[in-house]
Amino acid sequence: MDTLGGAEFAPDTTYLNTASCGLLPRRAVAAVRALAEGNAAGRGAGSFETVGAVRAAFARLIGLPAERVATGGGVSVHVGLIAASLPAGAEVLFPEGDFSSVITPFAVRGDLKLRYAPLADLAEAVRPGTALVAFSSVQSADGRIADLDAVRAAAAAHGARTLVDTTQSAGWLPVDAGAFDYTVTGGFKFLVCPRGTSFLTVTEEAQESLAPLHAGWTAGEDLWASTYGPVGELAHSARRFDEPLSFLSYHGAAESLALLEEIGAEALHAHNTALAARFREGVIGLGHEPVPAEGSVIVSVPGLTHRHADLERAGVAVSIRAGYVRTAFHLYNSTADVDRALDVLAG
């Protein structure tokens, strides 16, 4: 199976580590370089129109209008905004072992009730009095996919809001963002955007529960009438929650998301999951049992951490997470990459 990225990518390793950081396409690198050189020469520091194009492209990817998307630089800041909106004593439910950026902004408040449940039991753990269920659509450590429909239904039945981190799914697994009150997404993994690109989605109803605590002039409804003094009128859309951002990151992100749209969500999902399934089957054939995560592009295998150095020496890039060797497959990978990793593990 050939790559989907073609000449857009130029890895000099067998790169199976997108769950840590995606590779930048050549066109994104060129866009960042062009803006940096233009900035150095006094030809402009960046374009709000480009940021708007990124917002719109991400909105199309997750099935929402652009008015429901806020831009930023990091997931934990988006989560912190949501955490700050909860009243003291509110109960927040998480899966056990979820990524720390989903949990810590709530934990540091010190006046919330935090509760944890196994991922498989998360829907059943929602109860009267649960204010928010916060969880990742795909677990970072092992690739397990949450039962999104079940959690959403349980939350609705008990009047709880929902926060979903789609960082490990956006770019290969379709998620209906509009079905959840909030989603947060880091752009530098499967969206192959530069670091410093992130997104918050907020339903129109949930928007009223958030205070734009880090609002600056760009949060104004009329951008250029909001530069001095307090902003007179905040943006009516989720743009009121925009974080200060890096134009360099967003100029690159515009090219990255354009590439993903050209390829298409169905092709990305089919390609990535087929490669992961091939690796999963190969590892089982070698006598190892991956963490059960059928349908995920992240494959984590216990008992192989001692082989990490062998993989590195062979030019195969993976990561160690939670005691597993973790692999992740994306558009720039091929069956040859899968087989290369399996050959190394086979000795």
Helix, strand, coil in percent for the chain, rounding step 5: 45, 15, 40
Q: Please write the tens of the pLDDT for every residue from 74-97.
A: 999 999 999 999 999 999 999 999
Tell whether 211 and 95 lie within a shared domain: yes
What does 281-321 look like in DSSP terms, one character per residue? HHHHHTT----S-TT-SEEEEET-GGGHHHHHHTTEE-EEE
Structural domain includes residue 132: yes
Residue 276 located in a structural domain: yes
Task: Tell me whether residue 1 is in a domain.
Answer: no
Tokens 């990151």 locate to 249
Bridge partner residues of 130 (DSSP): 91
pLDDT of residue 10: 83
Domain ranges, residue 328: 6-25+265-346
47, 189: one domain: yes
Final residue in a domain of this structure, among 232, 262, 292:
262
Amino acid identity at 176: D
Q: Both 52 and 191 in a single domain? A: yes
CATH no. for residue 297?
3.90.1150.10
> Are 66 and 157 contained in the same domain?
yes
> Are residue 192 and residue 329 in the same domain, yes or no?
no
- Whether residue 133 is found in the same domain as residue 213: yes
Residue 1 has pLDDT above 80, yes or no: no
Question: pLDDT, tens digit, for every residue of 168-207?
Answer: 999 999 999 999 999 999 999 999 999 999 999 999 999 9
Give the total number of structural domains in the chain: 2
Share of the chain above pLDDT 90, in %: 96
Residue 138 lies in a domain: yes
Mean pLDDT of 98-126: 98
Instruction: Give yes or no: residues 12 and 129 share one domain.
Output: no
- pLDDT-based confidence at residue 5 (cuts at 50, 70, 90): confident
Query: To the nearest whole percent, how much of the chain has pLDDT over 70?
Result: 100
One domain, residues 125 and 258: yes
Considering the domain architecture, whether residues 162 and 129 belong to the same structural domain is answered as: yes
* pLDDT confidence band for 313 (50 / 70 / 90): very high
Where does a domain end: 198, 228, 262?
A: 262
pLDDT score, position 187: 98
Which of 204, 235, 262 corresponds to the end of one domain? 262
Q: Are residues 64 and 96 in the same domain?
A: yes
Rounded average pLDDT over 195-220:
95
Residue 6 confidence (pLDDT): 83
CATH code for the domain in which residue 51 is found: 3.40.640.10
Residues 71 and 152 in one domain: yes
pTM of this prediction?
Answer: 0.96
The token pair that represents 320 in the structure block: 């160690």
* pLDDT over threshold 90, residue 328: yes
What average pLDDT does the chain have?
A: 96
